Homo-oligomer: A and B are copies of this chain.
Amino acid sequence: MMSADDIKRLCRKVKSASRELALTDTKTKDRVLIAMSKALIKRASYIVRENERDLASAKRKGLSPAYLDRLRLTVSGISGMAKSLSVIARFKDPVGEVIETLRRPNGLLIKKVRVPIGVILIIYEARPNVTGDCIGLCLKSSNALILRGGSEALNSNIAIFDILNDVAVKNGLPANSIAMIRDTDRRIVKQLLESDSLIDLVIPRGGESLIREVTKTSRIPVIKHYKGVCHTYVDRSADLKMAENICFNAKVQRPGVCNAMETMLVHRKVAKKFLSRMIKRFSDSGVEIRGDAETRRIAPYIKRAVENDWYTEYLGLILSVKVVTDIDEAIAHIMKYGSYHSDAIVTGNKKNAGKFLDEVDSACVYVNCSTRFTDGAQFGKGAEMGISTDKLHARGPMGLEELTSYKYVIYGTGQVRR
């Protein structure tokens, strides 16, 4: 195992690189990103082979299809990662942007200027494509990065990291601007999380136990990327054909991800008409429905939902369904059982839409569209570091801007305080 000293030494090197990286010009950073993008394409078959080793061992361990879906890297997935890097290269450099300028009555000129955060630690599970996206976003925003991936994706992560790090160093980025912890011993995470003088931000992406552990242990600020128990509420006044398409998309198009719908809420006045068609369509596509008593009166053949279902992120083809008396009951349900990630209402009533948007306290609230849009690229951010379920600093999809802090730069001509 890496010793505490090894870890401290590594973190110090990355911290020191972060100071240099903060002063690196946009041209150098963009050149590196383009070279990284090309290197991924060139080495795609190597990455796929390493990924196949991870997949084989995950299958042996009996991990779920949703898990394997998140772990899998195809050649087209790798092109996607490469494309993200070249898209990030074309994005405007956020560092140095003047966010606000203020002239005070005493003549002081105050500028609020965007700066990098410093050193970011990302702790993630499966999903090796996260490796490329995070490296690209962090370097473009001049943040140094320490990656701690899950043991299941270790070979894939190492393959991607080694290719990208090699390109970074050869193209003039400070050595140790990115680092990967290859030792999968869990005690290392604890030591990293206590290094609050060397690491500025921790982003954990993953399941409940990971998030809990990080939140409890960390002395470093944390932005949680937690589960998505996403809801769609079909209101009394909804266009039911539209509602059907939205709900079907939110559940079925890619069920293994955090912005997929887990619970569907339906107003009782339209429940019978809507659910009889909708449940059939879901069942035809292999979705298992778990309903409350009212839903089971309409479709007696489906399973009963138990209390725990309402809290569950299935990440697969299962859906819980509840019939509600009105919009207030729908909102109360979402606030009680949801994870404040992404929730949608389908309605033809403007007042109800407004009420839902105001009162549902989630990162993303939708009217008349699928929750699947919660995504950095869909929001025009190029790529994403993940989706924050926290309220501090960044909420929802995190792109380049969300990876920056700011400083106040004040220009005087001899002013003193009276």
Contact = CB atoms under 8 A, between A and B. Distances in A.
Interface of A: 19, 22-23, 102, 104, 108, 110, 115, 117-118, 196, 200-201, 215-216, 219, 221-223, 239, 242, 245-246, 248-250, 253-254, 335, 357-359, 361-370, 372-374, 378-380, 390-393, 395-396, 405-417
Given A215-B196, A405-B392, A417 B363 contact: no
Given A221-B392, A391-B200, A369 B407 contact: no
A373 B221 CA distance: 27
A23 B223 CA distance: 26
B110 A417 contact: no
Q: How many copies does the complex hold?
A: 2
The 5 A-B pairs of least Cβ separation, nearest first, read A369-B412, A249-B416, A372-B417, A393-B393, A391-B405
A148 B113 CA distance: 33
A368 B413 contact: yes
A301 B410 CA distance: 36
B102 A380 contact: yes
Given A219-B216, A358-B23, A365 B409 contact: yes
A219 B193 CA distance: 13
A368 B412 CA distance: 5
A409 B354 CA distance: 10
8 contacts: A23-B358, A201-B391, A363-B407, A364-B410, A368-B412, A372-B416, A378-B417, A395-B406
A44 B172 CA distance: 63
A409 B222 contact: no
B410 A365 contact: yes
B102 A414 contact: no
A364 B372 CA distance: 40
A407 B370 contact: no
A251 to B, nearest CB: 11
B361 A415 contact: no
Nearest to A335: B19
Nearest to A356: B409
A396 B113 CA distance: 12
